[in-house]
């Protein structure tokens, strides 16, 4: 029975990437103590990483399966992307992170009325998406050390570069968006880069499909009151009201 439960936990983590103890407890209909014992065993065997309040597969990061993630909830991500470009303005300097929803946001620029943007990114995949556009936007890449799997650049060079920049808008994905905890990531280095981009920006747009809403990943990037817009495909009235009270403009795609 325990072996079946352990396999269910691993399957859940394969599907979601990261899960809280409460999510696993409810999914498997067992006690919190049982889940904690199971997670400890899986960690001992080197199969998972444990965090405060949750766990992820060993080596999991938000963009580990980037190309596979392009096909996950593709229609929802494309709707979100089309909504994002409607609030961008001509001549803006825009900072972009990485991830599949950001990729589709770049793709949506071809069908927008925008023609003059400066795009700065630390992501190889985001930069590639810009290069593939029919339109010609100014593109600047931060450089840095490329993380295998996520294709995002990290390291001191990135921070030195960003420290000299001022952005009109920062657009980022997230692993978790919680009205109390804030915007969270699974990877600490990517979270730090995102935080620096946020600090250098006038406005912050967070994009995420409904799976990320209400979730809490291990690394906090910012509080919700630091977010200008949240663009998603669905969320509850309760969470929407809580976010609006904190000054977040909530937009549904």
- What is the pLDDT, as a whole number, of residue 10? 85
Fold classification of 66-252 (topology level): Rossmann fold (3.40.50)
CATH 1.10.10.10 corresponds to the domain 2-57: yes
> What mean pLDDT is reported for the chain?
90
Q: What is the pLDDT of residue 60?
A: 53
Is pLDDT of 64 > 60?
A: no
The region of weakest confidence among 60-74, 96-110, 117-131 is 60-74
Mean pLDDT, range 228-240, rounded to an integer: 95
Query: What single-letter DSSP state applies at residue 31?
Result: -
The predicted model gives 197-203 an average pLDDT of: 98
Q: Cα Rg for the chain, rounded, in angstroms? A: 18
Token look-up 């965090």 returns 51
Count of alpha carbons within 13 Å of 157, Cβ hemisphere only?
10
User: Does the pLDDT at position 7 exceed 50?
Assistant: yes
**pLDDT at residue 59, as a whole number:** 57
Q: Per-residue pLDDT for 29 more than 80?
A: yes
Report the pLDDT value the prediction gives residue 178, as an integer from 0 to 100: 93
Check if the beta carbon of residue 104 is closer than 8 Å to that of residue 253.
no
Q: How confident is the model at residue 234 (pLDDT cuts 50, 70, 90)?
A: very high
> Where does CATH 3.40.50.1360 sit in the chain?
66-252
Judged against a pLDDT cut of 70, whether residue 62 lies above it is answered with no
pLDDT digits (tens, 9 = 90+) for 157-182: 999 999 999 999 999 999 999 999 99
- Lowest-confidence range among 4-18, 93-107, 224-238? 4-18
Residue span(s) of the chain under CATH 1.10.10.10 come to: 2-57
pTM of the model: 0.77
- Mind giving me the DSSP string for 165-229? --EEEEEE--SEEETTTEEEES-HHHHHHHHHHHHTEEEEEEE--GGGBT---SEEEE-GGG-SE
pLDDT score at 193: 95
Residue 165's CB is within 10 A of a number of other CB atoms, namely 15
What confidence tens digit (pLDDT) does each residue in 68-107 have?
Answer: 677 778 899 999 999 999 999 999 999 999 999 999 999 9
Q: What per-residue confidence (pLDDT) applies to 163?
A: 95
């Amino acid at each position: 029975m325990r072996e079946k439960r352990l396999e269910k936990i691993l399957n859940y983590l394969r599907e979601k990437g990261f899960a809280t103890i409460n999510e696993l407890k409810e999914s498997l209909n067992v006690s919190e103590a049982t889940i904690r014992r199971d997670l400890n065993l899986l960690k001992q065997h080197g199969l998972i990483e444990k965090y405060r309040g949750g766990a992820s597969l060993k080596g999991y990061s938000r963009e580990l399966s980037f190309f596979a993630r392009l096909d996950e909830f593709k229609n929802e991500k494309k709707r979100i992307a089309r909504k994002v470009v409607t609030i961008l303005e001509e001549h803006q300097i825009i900072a972009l992170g990485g991830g599949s929803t950001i990729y589709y946001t770049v793709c949506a620029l071809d069908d927008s009325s925008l023609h003059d943007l400066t795009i700065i990114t630390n992501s190889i995949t985001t930069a590639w998406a810009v290069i593939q556009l029919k339109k010609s936007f100014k593109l600047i890449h931060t450089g840095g050390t490329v993380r295998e799997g996520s294709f995002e650049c990290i390291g001191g060079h990135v921070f030195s570069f960003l420290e000299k920049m001022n952005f009109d808008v920062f657009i980022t994905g997230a692993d978790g968006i919680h009205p109390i905890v804030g915007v969270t990531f699974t990877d600490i280095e990517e979270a730090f880069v995102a935080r620096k981009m946020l600090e250098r920006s006038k406005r912050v747009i967070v994009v995420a499909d409904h799976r990320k809403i209400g979730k809490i990943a291990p690394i906090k990037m910012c509080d919700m009151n630091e977010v200008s817009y949240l663009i998603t495909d669905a969320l509850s009235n309760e969470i929407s009201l809580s976010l609006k009270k904190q000054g977040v403009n909530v937009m549904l795609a």
